[in-house]
Chain A
Amino acid sequence: MTLAAAEVEVAGWVEAIETYCERGWTDGLPVVPATPEAVRRFLEAAGRAATDVVLTETTRRRTITAEKIAINAVLAGCLPEYMPVLLAALEAMADPTFTLHGAITSTGGSATLVVVNGPIRRRLGFNAGGNVFGPGWRANATIGRAIRLVTLNCLGAMPGLLDRSTQGHPGKYTYCIAELEEANPWEPLHVTRGCRPGSSAVTVFAAEGPHNVLSHYGETAEEIIVALADTMACLGSFSPGESFLVLAPEHVAILVRDGWTKPRLRESLHARARRTRADLKRGGKLAGAVEAGDETTWVHRGHGPEDIHVVVAGGGAGGHSAFIPSWSRDRNSLAVTREIPDSHRGSHPR
């Protein structure tokens, strides 16, 4: 397979790692050098030609081929069989409703949250349990990192140049989880979003960091919903944008025991996660002085219950769920879900 990328000749592995750092081709951490042999292995595992166009970004006029994605996947420390997940995530980010250019450059400083569903979670060894947002799992760590490296190296979103994040957040290094479908008695995320039961899928979301929803002593659904709704209504992240809730298994078990369904939970949270216009003005969220009627005019988080996406993940012990607000303050960037095609299941042995 012929490759198009420019080659750099270096004296050895250590020099290779340093060359990537010196040229600004990393996220600040050392990378795995991408040799032509490794990149060919990744493309073969993906069943893609080097020249296949995976993603185009029209604002900055970038055309990104499977070869460049494979190079960045090697740099990130991925295994070849991760390629189908990475490619599906990047194809989802190219959907116009994701608003890729805005999401990777805005002062808002979002990172791409990736949620993996379906049988591929187990096959590739994703963590959906304890420490789900934390370190220790190669698939989660390196697929999230590969997306950041593509963003930096291929989309030009270098910090201080095109990426103008005021602060950013740690998820910009890597931000990839799987749903613990085994602890979710409701539909998994991808099925709620229209994928076939039993399929594998990725969902991407231009997201803030996770906000902890601690409800340790909550023994009823009502107490947990009060804590969730209050976190969703917090002024700092309040907007009409979408939300992700990553519910702890313990919280889900209580909700289900008390008879709650996923649709009813979404409806209840949309009804309760609200602020008055007066609050929004006092907090500098809306311009202007508080006027007559503002104290009794309510603004809800999201446009409707369908803007609240529910995922189950985390360890078996602990009343810690997470609320993850959209980067977008309205409907300018929406979550996108893509099935991972069967032919992309990554048959290579580990």
Chain B
Amino acid sequence: MTLKILDPTVSADAAEDTAVAKRVGDLDGKVLGLLHNGKVNGDHLLELVRQRLASRYGLRDVVVVHKPSASRTADPAVLDRLARECDAVVTAIGD
């Protein structure tokens, strides 16, 4: 006697938009965004990244955003602002 049993798993839904953003090449004259995840030390890590990148490129500006909680996703308004104002964004979790 054979038996049919059912798969209990769920896969991720297909992403609505999987297009990769246009690459920036270098950061000369560009605006860099830094998104701190909210975990301890992520801000220190991002500051080191900023210093390294600033020593290699002539950054036009840097936008620093701190998420209030690592457990929650970034507010869509924050992501929209980063997308609008920045040419490239680095995010870090620290911990």
Contact = CB atoms under 8 A, between A and B. Distances in A.
B2 interface: yes
Contacts of A101: 71, 73
A332 B4 CA distance: 42
Nearest to A99: B71
A154 B11 CA distance: 7
B20 interface: no
Given A59-B73, A61-B13, A106-B71, A149 B8 contact: yes
Contacts of B8: 5, 20, 25, 34, 68, 71-72, 75, 149, 153-154
A63 B1 contact: no
Contacts of A16: 3, 5
A10 B2 contact: yes
Contact of B10 (A35, A59, A64, A287): A64
A8 interface: yes
Nearest to B15: A61
Interface residues of A, number: 46
A188 interface: no
Q: Which bracket fits the contact residues of B?
A: 10 to 19
A102 B72 contact: yes
Contacts of A156: 10, 12
B72 to A, nearest CB: 6
B74 to A, nearest CB: 11
A64 B71 CA distance: 21
Interface of B: 1-10, 12-13, 15, 40, 69-73
22 contacts: A3-B6, A7-B6, A9-B3, A9-B4, A12-B2, A13-B3, A15-B3, A19-B5, A20-B5, A25-B7, A61-B12, A68-B10, A71-B7, A71-B8, A72-B8, A99-B72, A101-B73, A102-B69, A102-B70, A102-B72, A106-B71, A154-B8
